[in-house]
Amino acid sequence: DQQVKQNSPSLSVQEGRISILNCDYTNSMFDYFLWYKKYPAEGPTFLISISSIKDKNEDGRFTVFLNKSAKHLSLHIVPSQPGDSAVYFCAGGLIQGAQKLVFGQGTRLTINP
């Protein structure tokens, strides 16, 4: 039951360039999406969210785009910095009920100097 999918297990980007992380979902009932960043041996750290009624949300270097017709969202990081190297997870959630999150498999982002 893969409701949220991140098809790229890894991505390598040069420092200063744009990193684009992609996520697809099958459950059109999701009310919002979140991106988390995770370092080894740490818990996921919340980065940015987007409501399903919006198509873009921006916070500093991070921008999330949502294409509901394609059931696709992406996280853009610009400019990419070495400290951005981590595993990135997208997750979908529902307002009703317990607000549990459904996570994708994660994409390992490596920023090369």
Partner 1 sequence: EPEVTQTPSHQVTQMGQEVILRCVPISNHLYFYWYRQILGQKVEFLVSFYNNEISEKSEIFDDQFSVERPDGSNFTLKIRSTKLEDSAMYFCASSEGLGVYEQFFGPGTRLTVL
Residues at the contact surface with partner 1, assessed by CB under 8 A: 31-32, 34, 36, 41-46, 49, 89, 91, 93, 95, 97-106
Q: How near is the Cβ of 88 to partner 1 at its closest, in Å?
A: 12
Q: How near is the Cβ of 15 to partner 1 at its closest, in Å?
A: 27
Which is nearer to partner 1, 72 or 108 (by Cβ)? 108
Which is nearer to partner 1, 13 or 48 (by Cβ)? 48
Which is nearer to partner 1, 10 or 99 (by Cβ)? 99
Q: How near is the Cβ of 85 to partner 1 at its closest, in Å?
A: 19
3-class secondary structure per residue, the chain: CCCEECCCCEEEEECCCCEEEEEEECCCCCCEEEEEEECCCCCCEEEEEEECCCCEEEECCEEEEEECCCCEEEEEECCCCHHHCEEEEEEEECCCCCCCEEECCCEEEEEEC
Q: How near is the Cβ of 86 to partner 1 at its closest, in Å?
A: 14
